[in-house]
Amino acid sequence: MCFCFKIGFTHGFTGFFVMGGWMLREFEDFLIYKADNDGAADRTVRAYRDVLVRFEAWINGREPFGLSGEDLLVFTGPYLHKALRLNATSRTPYVACLRGLYAWRAEVAGGANPALILPYPKKGVTLPRVLSLSNAERLMWAPDFSKFEGVRDAAMMGLLIGCGLRVSGLVGLNEGSLVIQEVGGDVRTAIKPVEKGGKQRLIPVPKEADLLLRVYLAHPELEGIDRSVSGGDKVLFVTTRNRRCGAHDYYGERRRFSTRGVLKMIQRHGTAAGIPADQLHPHAMRHLYGTELAEENQDLLVRQSLLGHKSPKSTEIYTHLAMRKLTKVVDNANPMSKFNSPASQLLGNLTTPRTRR
């Protein structure tokens, strides 16, 4: 196992130390570029660091920028598949990292880019797990509304279901993330979550979720909790139990929910309501949101904006999940619905109430 540490010095240089020695200087410079100039998220930089640690071990002292495209194909293909047993999905970050590394190198030092021939591994598209509408209804009734925690949980699940939030966006919300505006003569709430890639977007909150949110914010127990964070803002959704710090330190950011805490909360309510375990995940709620947008024939670009997808291809998958719309189309438009067949009379008998004799 390799251990890497990011170390900053007073003159601005940042290096990545790998247990046993320093990483190649060119690799360090690339990671610094990704972090400081390309706006890459911390998790992306960490993932690329791990890729480069393995890549450096594989080249075993060879000059990395003297390798051919065929060499890189061997590393990202047969080596990762056979030696590390990585599937297509797991190999994708390796290809992305090396393509970025060699493109950066070609830009700053000139010369050819052998990584241009690296293809991304082809992988099948797996349809996401979706929380059903009936189970979403059962889940929303599960919390105990006589308790502060129940009101809070309902408001959180209301935003996950009603706005299609990623769980990272939900837990990162502050009161300053709420935007009150007038729409068509009504006072409405929108939220500004910061989600994947550090991007912020504005999402209208449906009336049902808005009501739950207002009840939570008006709860008297919330008034007695110190939720203050830097900049004068306040954590939106707070925990009421924390075993990791003493009572004197339990305020501000330490009151904020973790993504794991949200998952456990959903699983607790869902299990009590008898909902299948594979639907008890925040992303299953997001998938329900995306599916219902598709069911309502909303424009693809509108759906892409509401879901915060970088590519419309990510949004299109929900079209395949819009079964109510597809079933209605098939029932009305399929050729067998337009002529009499042996099934026509049987269907008529099943759907027409029998008259008593």
Count how many domains the chain has. 2
Question: For residue 41, is it within any domain?
Answer: yes
Q: Mark whether 156 and 56 lie in a shared domain.
A: no
Q: Mark whether 74 and 139 lie in a shared domain.
A: no
Question: What pLDDT, on a 0 to 100 scale, did the predictor assign at position 152?
Answer: 97
Q: Determine phi and psi for 224, rounding to 5 degrees.
A: -85, 5
Question: What pLDDT, on a 0 to 100 scale, did the predictor assign at position 337?
Answer: 75
Question: For residue 139, is it within any domain?
Answer: yes
Q: Mark whether 160 and 221 lie in a shared domain.
A: yes
| CATH number of the domain bearing residue 23 | 1.10.150.130
Q: Mark whether 104 and 187 lie in a shared domain.
A: no
Q: Which of 63, 141, 139, 134 is nearest to 102 (CA)?
A: 63
Q: Mark whether 208 and 88 lie in a shared domain.
A: no
Question: What pLDDT, on a 0 to 100 scale, did the predictor assign at position 40?
Answer: 84
* 232: number of Cβ within 10 Å: 9
Q: Mark whether 19 and 149 lie in a shared domain.
A: no
| Centroid of chain to Cα 60 | 36
Q: Mark whether 67 and 166 lie in a shared domain.
A: no
Question: For residue 200, is it within any domain?
Answer: yes
The answer to whether residues 165 and 159 touch, using CB atoms and an 8 Å cutoff, is yes
- What domain range is 103 assigned to? 4-117
Question: For residue 104, is it within any domain?
Answer: yes
Question: What pLDDT, on a 0 to 100 scale, did the predictor assign at position 80?
Answer: 94
Question: What pLDDT, on a 0 to 100 scale, did the predictor assign at position 11?
Answer: 30
Q: How far is CA 196 from CA 13, 128, 221, in A?
A: 28, 18, 32
| Long-range contacts (CB closer than 8 Å, 24 or more residues apart) made by 99-106 | 100/30, 100/34, 100/48, 101/27, 101/30, 101/52, 102/65, 102/72, 104/30, 104/33, 105/26, 105/30, 105/65
Pairing of strands 178-183, 186-191: antiparallel
Question: What pLDDT, on a 0 to 100 scale, did the predictor assign at position 20?
Answer: 40
Q: Which of 249, 285, 247 is nearest to 265 (CA)?
A: 285
The answer to whether residues 256 and 175 touch, using CB atoms and an 8 Å cutoff, is no
Q: Mark whether 44 and 83 lie in a shared domain.
A: yes
Question: For residue 286, is it within any domain?
Answer: no
Q: Mark whether 162 and 251 lie in a shared domain.
A: yes
Within 13 Å and on the Cβ side, how many CA atoms surround 258?
7
What is the full DSSP assignment across 9-34?
-TTS-EEEEETTEEPPHHHHHHHHHH
Question: For residue 263, is it within any domain?
Answer: yes
- Structure tokens of 38? 């390309």
For the chain, what is the radius of gyration of the CA atoms? 26
Residue count of the chain: 357
The answer to whether residues 201 and 305 touch, using CB atoms and an 8 Å cutoff, is yes
The answer to whether residues 28 and 14 touch, using CB atoms and an 8 Å cutoff, is yes
The answer to whether residues 174 and 158 touch, using CB atoms and an 8 Å cutoff, is no
- The last residue of one of the domains, among 117, 142, 165, is 117
* 170: number of Cβ within 10 Å: 24
Question: For residue 328, is it within any domain?
Answer: no
| CATH number of the domain bearing residue 255 | 1.10.443.10
Strand partners, 17: 5, 22
What is the full DSSP assignment across 321-346?
G-HHHHHHHHHHHSGGGGS--HHHHH
Question: For residue 73, is it within any domain?
Answer: yes
Which residues of the chain are under the pLDDT cut of 50? 1-21, 354-357
Q: Mark whether 29 and 100 lie in a shared domain.
A: yes
Q: Mark whether 176 and 250 lie in a shared domain.
A: yes
Q: State how far the Cα of 3 lies from the Cα of 43, in Å rounded to an integer.
A: 16
What is the full DSSP assignment across 205-269?
PPHHHHHHHHHHHT-HHHHTS--B-GGG-BBSSB-S--SSS-GGG-SGGGGBPPHHHHHHHHHHH
